[in-house]
Amino acid sequence: MSNPTASNPTAAILIIGNEILSGRTQDVNVQFIARRLAGIGVRLEEVRVVPDIPARIINAVNELRAAYEMLFTTGGIGPTHDDITSECIAAAFGVPWELHEETAALMRSVLGDQVNEARLRMATMPRGAVPIRNAASIAPGFTIGNVHVMAGVPRIMQSMLLALEPELPRGTPIAMRAVHGMGVLEGAIAAGLGAIQARFPGVDMGSYPFKRDTGWGVALVAKGTDPAALDAAIAEATALIAAQGITPVPGEPD
């Protein structure tokens, strides 16, 4: 199958934090980032999670920033001892980790006497980093090279990404069409779905089982950059579900 978005810029996400790996915190940032990137034509090709261990963070940053045109990191830029992302990024780039004076001055002007050594950690960045100002937090994320470093708190991360988005490289927007059928079994439609994929090599076809209170079903999803091809492919997928004696419903399952 040819890659329907081969000419689009590529990206990866690095999620940093023991809380994700322990299961205590559920990551909800990937979906938001993935959908925003698709809308501007950026291919998200890898998502990785690493613990709060400097060597693991540094190695992952260097590997992913070399492999993809953009790397987005989330987590580990707060004021506590385990927020080590910023200094690890500095080590990955081989530059000093130092107070960003403009950010520190802004924090002092807003927070006054509440500024302390812990809060100033959030104003300390790799030398040469450019802050990502945002509406949700006085403490910014930052960009250095092709690495965009953002908070792990979803509300703040989203604000940072939206602030950053106008500056990001773009490609042809990646769109999606979906249809689902309650009671459809994947094994019954596998051959038909494979045939649709063969007829539309520029469309990325996928089958995704889901479960509701009323039972199991399957969502058939077409993704790519050619709206006409997407419409044609999802029309055939809709007919494939109908051929099972099941009413197809447009859109992804809840």
Would you say residue 69 lies in a domain? yes
pLDDT of residue 155: 97
Indicate the burial class of 115 (C-beta count within 10 angstroms; 0-12, 13-18, 19 or more). middle
- Both 71 and 116 in a single domain? yes
- Both 53 and 159 in a single domain? yes
Would you say residue 99 lies in a domain? yes
Residue type, 52: D
pTM above 0.85, yes or no: yes
How many domains is the chain partitioned into structurally? 2
User: What confidence category does residue 1 fall into, taking pLDDT thresholds of 50, 70 and 90?
Assistant: very low
pLDDT in tens, 87-105: 999 999 999 999 999 999 9
CATH code of the domain containing 217: 3.30.70.260
Would you say residue 5 lies in a domain? no
Other C-beta atoms closer than 10 Å to the C-beta of 162 total: 14
pLDDT at 252 over 70: no
- Cβ atoms of residues 95 and 127 within 8 Å: yes
CATH code of the domain containing 126: 3.40.980.10
Reference 163, options 189, 139, 185, 141; nearest CA is 141
**Chain centroid to CA 185:** 30
Q: Which residue carries 């419903």 as its tokens?
A: 249
φ/ψ of 179, rounded to 5, equals: -145, 145
Would you say residue 4 lies in a domain? no
pLDDT in tens, 37-47: 999 999 999 99
The residues facing 16 across adjacent strands are 50
Q: Output the 3-class SS for 196-238.
A: HHHHCCCCEEEEEEEEECCEEEEEEEEEECCHHHHHHHHHHHH
User: Residue 152 sits in which domain range?
Assistant: 10-167
